[in-house]
Amino acid sequence: MRIPTVARALALAGVLASIPVYAQGPHQHYDTRYGHDRYYPERGYSIGQVPHGGVPLAWHGEHYWYHGGVWYHPYGPSWVVVAPPIGIYVPILPPLYTTIMVGGLPYYYANDTYYTWSDSERQYQVVPPPPGADNASAAPPGSMPPPPPGDVGAPAGGAPAGGAPPGDNLFIYPRNGQTADQQSSDRYECHRWAVDQSGFDPTQGGGGVSPDQAGAKRSDYRRAIEACLDGRGYTVR
């Protein structure tokens, strides 16, 4: 099942305000590819209940739970950490993904999984490792445009996180030494608040408003998200 819009996918999941960062511990593996350097639960590990704040997804009749770049599949009364099916679409990239360039195209990597942006679906798609991926390296920060609107993660080795209208990116400096995890959470929550205040959602085509309203509503969204981030201790440019 393909979820047609980012907004619908987020509605299914509620508000994704909990942005996880997995730490070293039992049943964890350390993903070092491309300097990603993050811990994730091992595939095959079973839990009784999926983490709060994930996205329920379905693909070819199978159900999955997507949370922080980790994929879960039901198995009896439990949920098992699995590899995602190739081809499935997701509304949001994992937090702290790593951007790589292969053949002149950006791929977004986390937890042994590659994602690309689908213009037709307006979502990200899980894809096989692209040819040449073994020789790729993380893109230096600021070396390429940000991923399409809809992303709210904080990239590791990529451009500033998304959530702003295309061509109107926000550059955020944490005045209070906020961690990357806190920055990701604050940015997403401010994005949702700005959408509620302005009626403009940059994750939807045209912002989800009529063309004659788009300019004014886009400005309202920008002012709202800047005010929210400033109130949480960030300098925004």
Average confidence (pLDDT) per 10 residues, the chain, 237 residues: 44 40 69 91 94 90 94 96 96 86 88 91 91 85 55 43 42 82 74 86 72 88 90 88
| Domain final residue pick, 86, 103, 133 | 86
**Residue 220 included in any domain:** yes
- Domain boundary (70, 86, 102) is at 86
Alpha-carbon distance values, 230 to 11, 45, 226, 236 (Å): 27, 40, 6, 7
Structure confidence at residue 236 (pLDDT): 84
Q: How many domains does the chain have?
A: 2
Residue 169 lies in a domain: yes
- Angle, nearest 10°, between helix axes 180-198 and 211-231? 140
Look up residue 159 and give its amino acid.
A
Query: What local confidence, expressed as pLDDT, does residue 23 receive?
Result: 47
| Residue 228: Cβ-neighbour burial (10 angstroms; 0-12, 13-18, 19+) | buried
User: What is the helix (H) or strand (E) element at residue 218, kind and residue range?
Assistant: helix 211-231
| Cα–Cα distance measured from residue 29 to residue 22, given in angstroms and rounded to the nearest whole number | 10
For residue 21, being part of any structural domain is answered with: yes
Q: Is position 191 within any domain?
A: yes
Paired strand residues for 235 = 173
Element (H, E) at 79: strand 78-82
What residues make up the domain containing 80?
6-86
CA of 225: how far to CAs of 18, 19, 23, 92, in Å?
A: 18, 18, 30, 19
- Integer-rounded Cα Rg, in Å, for the chain is 17
pLDDT score at 19: 42
- Backbone angles phi and psi of 73, in degrees to 5: -130, 135
pLDDT of residue 96: 79
Give me the pLDDT at residue 91, please: 86
